Amino acid sequence: MGLTAQQKAQCRALWQQELEQNILPFWLRAVDTESGGVFTCFSNDGGTLLSENKFTWSQGRFLWNESRQAALIRSGLCQGDAAPLLAHAKQTADFLLDHAFLDNGHCAFLLDRHGNKLEMKPGEGYDTSFYADCFVVIGLCEYAFVSGESGYFEHALALYDNVSQRLASGRVRSEPYPAPPGFEPYAYEMIMLGTVTELLRYALRYQHPALSRLTTRTRQSLRRIFAEFHDPETLIPLEMKVVPEHRYTLLARHKTPGHTLENMWFCFHAAQLLGETETYLPAIAKITSLMWHMGWDDQYGGLFRYTLADGSPPAGRLLGGDPYETLIANTWSSKIWWVHSEALYTLLLMAEQNNDPQFFSLYQRTADYVLSTFPNREQGEWTQICDREGAPLNKVVALPVKDPFHIMRNLQLIVSLCGQPS
């Protein structure tokens, strides 16, 4: 079952080279050795730093990346020196603990270079997105996992509990994609599953007292994904749970193939930690194939950003004035870097876990498209957004940043997957 030794060796060599020679060097030039963290407000091509402000969203993510890279080096799966990576990761973790937290236990969304809190929009407050808080959680958790410094995990756990309470109360803010009244995004449960799974991994390794409740929360979140956010017969995702009057809106009908592909490996990792792989693997494999085919552009190649369930352009009644609705309508056909890096890892993971040869074939088609479209050999890293035909676009994807997270994380996961014996 799974990938052959030759396939693993080839995939590991290809993506380890991309990680070590293109992605990581770009970001190591962007780290702030004075205050901690990393500068991310680059132009789409990576050639110009537009601002030294720091979104906690990206700082937490980079903390995860740096910590994981140190772990890969320690294990012999990557080349390099783990010590400076961990030292800067610690500086970044301390920067977040010292500056990002508010009196209510939430995290500020935006800081200046030195850690002073900033408002994205005057008068709207500092804590505008629980997503940012979740990324701080996983960053602190991964640093604790790799370094063995348990105090950082305690901070991560407390922040996770704070976020969970906000969600349970229904009082959450979720910039840059706020959900209008009557809509519950798939992304809410998805990010919570991804977050609690990171905590569970730590708790299992270190036998933390919170292991039992984190196990329960992971199991609940995983079950809810499939019970409430996927059609029980077709397994097509519900991108938004909605009240009946919004059923035929664009927001309710659209699909995000990349997000669902990303969530499939979240689900697999969670099921694996729970010892429930056999229960969930058939559905995960089916959804992976379904979403790739739903999103793939047969004319130009690559995965669309948004579609309908049949793969056609998004359509439906408009609410009017909703920023996410506008984004879907205007950018559905664009090709986004992170969608493709998530697809690469999920397809390889499914190729390893199943006898079905389709997954490696789909991976190969995706890899060919990625390597011919996204890598920027002049500046380093990848172009974040391209038009349907694959030409670079100068548009903001979510935040006005060139985010380090998705490519680095997925290449790190691929190296780990393909560097281990079957």
pLDDT, position 279: 98
pLDDT, position 104: 95
Given this structure, which CATH class describes domain 5-419? mainly alpha
Residue 306 to residue 246: CA distance in whole angstroms: 19
Contact 36, 91 (CB under 8 A): yes
Residue 90 to residue 101: CA distance in whole angstroms: 16
pLDDT, position 402: 87
Contact 193, 221 (CB under 8 A): yes
3-state secondary structure of 72: helix
**H helices present in 103-129, as ranges:** none
> 143: closest CA among 261, 63, 233, 210?
63
pLDDT, position 398: 61
ω before 375 within 30° of 0 (cis)?
no
Residue 120 to residue 127: CA distance in whole angstroms: 10
Give the model confidence (pLDDT) of 186-197 as tens digits. Answer: 999 999 999 999
Percent helix, percent strand, percent coil in the chain, to nearest 5: 55, 10, 35
- pLDDT < 50 positions in the chain: none
Helix (H) or strand (E) holding 74: helix 56-74
Domain boundaries, given as residue ranges, for the chain: 5-419
Residue 72: C-alpha distances to residues 65, 75, 147, 412 (Å): 10, 5, 13, 8
Residue 390 to residue 315: CA distance in whole angstroms: 23
Amino acid at 7: Q
Residue 4: C-alpha distances to residues 32, 286, 345, 360, 366 (Å): 41, 21, 16, 10, 19
The CA radius of gyration of the chain, in Å to the nearest whole number, is 20
pLDDT, position 177: 83
**H helices present in 275-318, as ranges:** 277-295
Residue 238: C-alpha distances to residues 185, 195, 252, 263, 375 (Å): 8, 20, 8, 13, 32
CB atoms within 10 A of CB 316: 18
- Ramachandran sector of residue 320 (left: φ over 0; alpha: ψ -120 to 50; beta: rest): left
The length of the chain in residues reads 422
3-state secondary structure of 299: coil
pLDDT, position 191: 98
3-state secondary structure of 184: strand
> 239: closest CA among 306, 158, 304?
306
Helix (H) or strand (E) holding 65: helix 56-74
DSSP string, 206-234: HT-TTHHHHHHHHHHHHHHHHHHSB-TTT
Residue 345 to residue 24: CA distance in whole angstroms: 18
How far is C-alpha 192 from the chain's CA centre? 12
Residue 376 to residue 393: CA distance in whole angstroms: 13
